């Protein structure tokens, strides 16, 4: 009998980043990914600190993940290059349906080719507290047929929780 962990896609991560995470008092609750492709919903996203904390935790875990960012940020010399190196994908917010459609096609192609691709998104679409979530992550995951991972930054306990995954059925 061949035993396969519930989340077979595992990562090594950076020992230096893990040491820094521990020194800052953070804990990571993550046991791998269920598939090679998917969408990560990071909630809540209400602070400018979310990005640097998330990047440090991403390096500690070793998870290569893409993320959407305002296209204007990518136009800043050197900063745009650095954002792309981190996994950033520039998007024009004036055409949201087009972005989801393009990303769905890319995700389907990666899936067909058996290539790794996880995209992290903030469902609010902003850092402000909002009454509801935008639907782009939902449409993307449903149309591409990939799971949604739920990730949360808990600042009060200094903890990243990223262990639950859903398959959307519509």
* Average model confidence (pLDDT) across the chain: 85
Is it the case that residue 132 has pLDDT exceeding 90? no
Cis peptide before 44 (omega within 30 of 0): yes
Question: Taking residues 103-128, what's their average pLDDT?
Answer: 85
Q: How confident is the model at residue 129 (pLDDT cuts 50, 70, 90)?
A: low
H/E element, 162: strand 159-166
Tell me the domain boundaries of the chain. 15-166
pLDDT of residue 4 exceeding 60 = no
Arithmetic mean of pLDDT, 89-93: 79
- Which residues touch 150 (CB under 8 Å, ≥6 apart)? 40, 41, 43, 162, 164, 165, 166
pTM of the entire predicted model: 0.84
| pLDDT for the residue 122 | 82
State the pLDDT at residue 21.
93
Query: Going by C-beta distance under 8 Å and a sequence separation of 6 or more, which residues neighbour residue 22?
Result: none
pLDDT exceeds cutoff 90 at 113: yes
pLDDT value for 95: 64
- Once rounded to an integer, what is the mean pLDDT over residues 11-40? 92
Name which residue leads in pLDDT, 128 or 85: 85
Tokens representing 68? Answer: 């959407």
The pLDDT > 70 percentage for the chain reads 88
Domain covering 15-166, topology: Rossmann fold (3.40.50)
Angle, helices 96-113/136-144, rounded to nearest 10 degrees: 30
**Who has greater pLDDT, 11 or 86?**
86
* Strand-pair partners of 57: none
Q: List the one residue out of 80, 68, 54 whose CA is nearest residue 107.
A: 68
Instruction: Determine the average pLDDT of the residues in 11-38.
Output: 92
């Amino acid at each position: 009998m061949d035993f396969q962990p519930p989340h077979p896609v595992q990562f090594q991560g950076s020992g230096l980043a893990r040491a820094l995470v521990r020194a800052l008092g953070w804990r990571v609750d993550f046991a791998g990914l269920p598939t090679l492709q998917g969408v990560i919903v990071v909630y809540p996203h209400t602070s400018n600190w979310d990005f640097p904390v998330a990047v440090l935790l991403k390096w500690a875990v070793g998870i290569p993940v893409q993320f959407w960012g305002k296209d204007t940020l990518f136009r800043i010399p050197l900063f745009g290059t650095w954002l792309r190196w981190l996994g950033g994908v520039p998007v024009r917010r004036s055409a949201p349906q087009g972005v989801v459609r393009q990303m769905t096609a890319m995700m389907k192609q990666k899936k067909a080719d058996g290539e790794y691709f996880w995209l992290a998104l903030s469902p609010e679409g902003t850092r402000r507290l909002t009454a509801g979530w935008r639907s782009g992550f939902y449409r993307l995951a449903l149309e591409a047929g990939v799971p949604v991972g739920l990730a949360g930054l808990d600042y009060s306990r200094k903890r990243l929780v990223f262990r639950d995954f859903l398959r959307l059925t519509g």
